[in-house]
Chains A and B, each alone.
Chain A
Amino acid sequence: MSAGEDERGRPAEAERAPGAREPANAADGSATEGPAAEDTATEGPAAEDTAAVAKKPSRWARLVALLDEREAPTSLALVRLAVAAVLLADWVAVLRRGLVPVVWGPSTAGAFGIADTFPDPPLYQALLGASPTSTWLVFGLAFAATLTFALGLFTRTSALVLALASAQLAQTLPQADRGIDGALRLVLLLLACSGAGARWSLDAWRRHRTLTPDIRVPAWPRYLIVLQVVWIYFSAGMHKTQGAWWPAGDGAALYIILRDPHFARFELPWLDAAYPLTQLGTYLTMLFELGAPFMLLALWYRRTAERPGRLRRAFNRLLVREVWLTLGVGFHLALALLVRLGIFPWGMLAFYPAFFRPEAAERFLARLRGR
């Protein structure tokens, strides 16, 4: 059993926020009133109504309660499996091309790994020296940790080891470490603090003799993954200050990128005819990225759907969450199809299960299985 879980899937009393009545994510998956409604319950039934009116919990208490929530590990386990699949594919790609010693080998051996000339080399080089052997050791460690992470064996330790081994490789050749590698490391660090290994894992099997034990794990790592993904998009949008991304530059950015031979996957002879479509794609990209923070609002409104409010009703009626996620999936699939960005589209899509509460993820999986 992971730290902080109990067999019934409910948090131990001592682990709840002071005054928290029940985790907001109810086991039946129904929307709840959220943390705002939780803090008065322990005052006892007689005092409940009066206390609720007299003393609304502070924002801090509500935040503490929110971060103390627990849920089934389904969504986090899906993120774990997807992240592991993307990383394994990338490691296999570099292995298959015989590029491990080329990319991360020491520059003194004719490879690209420039870190051996730095005054402050990566830890593994300081300890083992810069050599092809030490490169293979770190790569092997990253590969093995990816496998154990995928299998859910010592999941938390595997995630941490994988994040740190990947960081050592990044330090060896910083310019070959792309944004998506850093994003994957950040999510790995969050998964190392999570119960992502509590489902579909050898850890689950070792502890419960089933791959799908009925337990609950802290929800905050999932919330932080959502926040991280939203920030990635919003930050990317903020950095797009060049005119080509805006109407002043004719929205030509996507067209120009698709014509850039270093990134385009194909020559696209029909691209000129599709110029208005590429302009639309440019504006949708900006809308999607700069509108990312509204996704947080959409998630909150979805979660508190029973509360009043016109904006809440409008968000839920217009399916803002679904529209935004569909746009994101379309955006990444289009990138994967048309532009050579390595694992970037797949890595980002690997984080998407975090946008779904476990109950929704389970319903989706059941639908996939035809049940």
Chain B
Amino acid sequence: MNIVLNEPLSQISLLFVSAAMGLLAVALLMFAFQLARLKDDPTESRFERYGFWVLGAGTLVLGIGVFLRGVAAQRVPWANMYEFAISGALMILTIYLISLRVKDVRYVATFVTGFALVTIFAAVSLFYVEVKTLMPALQSYWLVIHVVVAIMATGFFAIAAGFHIFYLIKAAGVGRALMDRFPDLRQLERVAYRFNMVGFVAWSFTLIAGAIWAERAWHRYWGWDTKEVWTFIIWVVYAGYLHAMATRGWTGKRAAVLGLIGFGAVIFNFTIVNLFFKGLHVYSGL
């Protein structure tokens, strides 16, 4: 173990991350303008176009920041809360930008950009820690597999949550003039379902990978550690959501609410459980 940490480089990485925050804020403004104009003019797309260019640039700059953090620490950049948060934001934005090529998911641009922005802001202002050596329990290739898939699942759940929110707004009949420009409820529900589906599979994998790692590191595959409990709860809630989508009378609003509860549990697991609950997964570094 001859790792030399590079805190100055980490500071440069922090600069990039902060710059990305600025770009995301600009993108968010553009998307907001777009929504405001869309109400009156369905052909409006200038702001949106610029917004996606800025969002792309912000993602790239964030990517450089995350990469430099990894170089500074000489390992994968997701071993404490600050790093989870910036890697998570990068993952959400990347998944979102790729999804744009597959499905029309422009409508949640404000939500996704806003969410990534808040995540990075929390990371930089609350969670920042200087680069540290990895404790022995984390020195495992499972850190790469288990965590990266968990972050990925979170990304998919987050985008789905955006669709759930717009679904509920539209279903409630609020802001008709604007919401009429959005796809119909069926379509919103469908896209949310697709993202949650991928998220659920990824989350299941994280759970299994975590159990395998726990067996190596803590000599039991499952011990109801607080983080394990919440991983389980999230899995069960999303399993409930998938069942709801196949149960008469439970699709639509109820399923959307379940999906949001699931995502709320994901956020709770990352913030409250990490910071305030006692457990073995005490890697916040704070």
Do A and B associate with each other? no
- Chain A residues near B (Cβ < 8 Å): none
Residue numbers of B with Cβ under 8 A of A are none
